[in-house]
Amino acid sequence: MAQLATRRPTMRSIVLISTVVAIVTLFTGFDSASADDQDWIIGRWELVYDPEDRATDWLEFLPNGDVRNIWADGTEVSGIYIVTAEGVKAVLNYEGTDIIFTFHADEARRSLRIVTSNTGLASVYQRLAPGK
């Protein structure tokens, strides 16, 4: 028992604990929208403006709370999302790392804006018509 008390945490356990704390904070640290007010996000959204001129990608929000980021080369990154009063918060797992994204919706809920930490500039996604 004494060994357990003096055992130092491993890097893996620190990362796991940090990820759990981040996810709990993500989903409890803000007002989520009511269930009746979440259907607007369901569907596919296309990157229509990127200040860094990156290749177009798509976000697909599913009714069960899953989200997929689909890149032009066919790579898919999966995660979960929640609708908030301001837009959408998502956690996507890329190469074993959970990354938190905050998308701000315009007033009409036809576009999502995300500011990248690299440049501080906003990229814009627009909702595609169903079936596209």
* The pLDDT value given to residue 34: 52
35: in domain: yes
91: in domain: yes
pLDDT band at 4 (very low <50, low <70, confident <90, very high): very low
111: in domain: yes
132: in domain: no
Inter-CA distances, 83 with 30, 89, 93, 103, 109, Å: 10, 7, 18, 10, 12
Among candidates 85, 79, 81, 80, which has minimal Cα distance to 32?
Answer: 85
Residues pairing with 87 in the sheet: 104
Residues 38-51 have pLDDT tens digits of 899 999 999 999 99
Which range of residues forms the domain containing residue 16?
2-127
pLDDT band at 132 (very low <50, low <70, confident <90, very high): low
* The pLDDT value given to residue 15: 44
> Cα dihedral angle (79, 83, 86, 87), rounded to 10 degrees?
50
Question: Could you give the number of structural domains in the chain?
Answer: 1
Number of Cβ atoms within 10 Å of the Cβ of 83: 23
| Residue 72 or residue 8, greater confidence | 72
Average pLDDT, the chain: 80
Q: How far apart are CA 114 and CA 98, in angstroms?
A: 17
CATH number of the domain that residue 15 is part of? 2.40.128
Q: How far apart are CA 21 and CA 15, in angstroms?
A: 10
Q: Is the pLDDT of residue 119 over 90?
A: no
